């Protein structure tokens, strides 16, 4: 850093180390919070409520039919409508729906093919087309890449029954389905996102609402304006949660997990996905996103090593130990090893790089379309914007 006084460089290095130390303590606290949160899981009881599960689909994903099947193999006695939607008659996801129909001939699996566009958010446009076909009062929206356990509906419905609850969302871990880079992506979800979102929700620092699951009653959906109210919103899941909260209702997050099936086949897909996700969070909660740098303590300590070698190495080791603790706890809670633990330093450095890049980006690529960010989380896109 030519021309910068050594005193300023040293002060910056000490600042990095201070943030790293705070981050290490935070990660230990997040790991403990995650373990305690999921240890509260209570036995679930079978239910007979009629439920519609919305699945906006786009393209062929690895294991798509198997992932969708987990929503039909539920410990549930009531009727389930699996309502799937695509926007083009040649969408490869249709084949997965037909496979599912052959596998579960007694199940109600409805497929809506509707090319009608609504706003810039393709996922929401798909949901707007599905909305008139919802058959039951309880509606569960879940992204196509989610995998659930047999007690999913029982626990979700119990949470929705709690007084003052308007919607239910569920935290998730990652699973790589498309090779090395998808496992790197999944590691970011299990090892970074999961401890953070649970810590924020439990400590009252965040009010998450996630596409993994948004369960609500039809009257609540109508009260927030239906899906059409979010047609030009990038962070649609977050916006739905805020709309529910504006009604004076809470978004509950029960002590359970679902699994996100990551499908990134190469670094380019991973970078675009995580940059879009980072920029989205930055726009909706900018202060919290900036403060989130403490959740990446290992790269912060590494940056200080050239200026303060011994303190930098010591705090880098401490940060790596804290991150390793959080990652092991996350995998234990998820019931599976997300990725080899030796990838943790690489994963954390990539997370930090995405964080820095996302601070200034104003447009991102989303499956061939350029997504332009406007004020208050709104978007425009040319050409038509599909969804992940």
**For residues 6 and 80, what is the distance between their CA atoms, to the nearest angstrom?**
66
The domain 51-272 having CATH identifier 3.40.1000.10: the answer here is: no
CA distances from 37 to 143, 149, 231, 255, 278 (A): 24, 18, 34, 6, 25
The beta-strand segments (E) located in 63-154 are 80-86, 108-113, 138-141, 146-147
Percent of the chain exceeding pLDDT 70 equals 92
Residue 84 CA to residue 130 CA, distance in Å, equals 8
Q: Answer whether residue 378 shows pLDDT above 70.
A: no
Three-class secondary structure of residue 45 per DSSP: coil
pLDDT at 386 over 70: no
The model's pLDDT over 236-279, given as tens digits with 9 standing for 90+, comes to: 999 999 999 999 999 999 999 999 999 999 999 999 999 989 98
- Residue 158 to residue 7: CA distance in whole angstroms: 58
Q: What is the pLDDT of residue 367?
A: 52
The rounded Cα 104 to chain-centroid distance in angstroms is: 28
Do the Cβ atoms of 172 and 166 come closer than 8 Å? no
Rounded mean pLDDT of the chain? Answer: 91
pLDDT class of 377 with cuts at 50, 70, 90: low
Indicate yes or no: pTM above 0.85: yes
Residue 374 has what pLDDT?
A: 61
Listed by start position, the domains of the chain span 6-38+277-382, 51-272
Pseudo-torsion of CA 81, 83, 84, 85, nearest 10°? 170
CA–CA distance, 248 with 132 (Å, rounded to integer): 26
Place of tokens 């309880």: 138
**Number of Cα atoms under 13 Å in the Cβ half of residue 208:** 21
Rounded to whole angstroms, how far apart are CA atoms 277 and 358?
9
pLDDT digits (tens, 9 = 90+) for 29-75: 999 999 999 998 777 788 999 999 999 999 889 999 999 999 999 99
Segment 319-342, tens digit of pLDDT: 999 999 999 999 999 999 999 999
């Amino acid at each position: 850093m030519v021309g910068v006084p050594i005193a300023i460089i040293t002060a910056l290095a000490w600042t990095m180390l201070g943030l790293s130390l705070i981050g290490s303590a935070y990660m230990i606290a997040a790991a403990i919070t995650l373990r305690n949160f999921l240890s509260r899981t209570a036995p679930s009881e079978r239910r007979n409520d009629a439920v519609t599960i919305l699945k906006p689909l786009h393209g062929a994903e690895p294991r798509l039919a198997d992932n969708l099947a987990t929503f039909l193999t539920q410990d549930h006695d009531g009727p389930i409508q699996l309502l799937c939607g695509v926007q083009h008659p040649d969408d490869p996801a249709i084949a997965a729906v037909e496979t599912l129909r052959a596998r579960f001939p007694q199940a109600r699996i409805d497929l809506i093919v509707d090319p009608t566009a609504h706003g810039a958010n393709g996922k929401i446009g798909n949901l707007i087309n599905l909305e008139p076909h919802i058959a039951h009062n309880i509606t569960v929206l879940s992204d196509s890449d989610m995998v659930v356990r047999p007690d999913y509906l029982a626990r979700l419905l119990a949470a929705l029954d709690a007084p003052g609850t308007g919607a239910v969302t569920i935290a998730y871990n990652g699973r790589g389905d498309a090779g090395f880079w998808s496992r790197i992506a999944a590691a970011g979800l299990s090892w970074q996102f999961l401890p953070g979102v649970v810590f924020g929700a439990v400590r009252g620092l965040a009010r998450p609402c996630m596409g993994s699951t948004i369960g609500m009653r039809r009257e609540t959906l109508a009260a927030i304006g239906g899906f059409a109210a979010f047609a030009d919103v990038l962070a649609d899941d977050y916006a739905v949660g805020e709309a529910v909260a504006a009604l004076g209702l809470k978004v509950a997050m029960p002590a359970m997990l679902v699994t996100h099936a990551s499908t990134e086949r190469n670094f380019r897909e991973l970078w675009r996905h995580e940059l879009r996700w980072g920029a989205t969070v930055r726009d909706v909660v900018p202060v919290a996103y900036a403060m989130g740098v403490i959740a990446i303590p290992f790269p912060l300590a590494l940056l200080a090593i050239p200026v303060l070698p011994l303190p930098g190495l010591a705090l880098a080791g401490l940060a790596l130990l804290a991150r390793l603790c959080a990652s092991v706890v996350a995998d234990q809670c998820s019931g599976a090893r997300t990725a080899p633990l030796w990838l943790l330093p690489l994963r954390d450095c990539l997370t930090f790089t995405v964080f820095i890049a996302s601070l200034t980006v104003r447009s991102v690529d989303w499956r061939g379309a350029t997504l332009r960010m406007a004020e208050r989380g709104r978007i425009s896109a040319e050409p038509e914007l599909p969804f992940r």
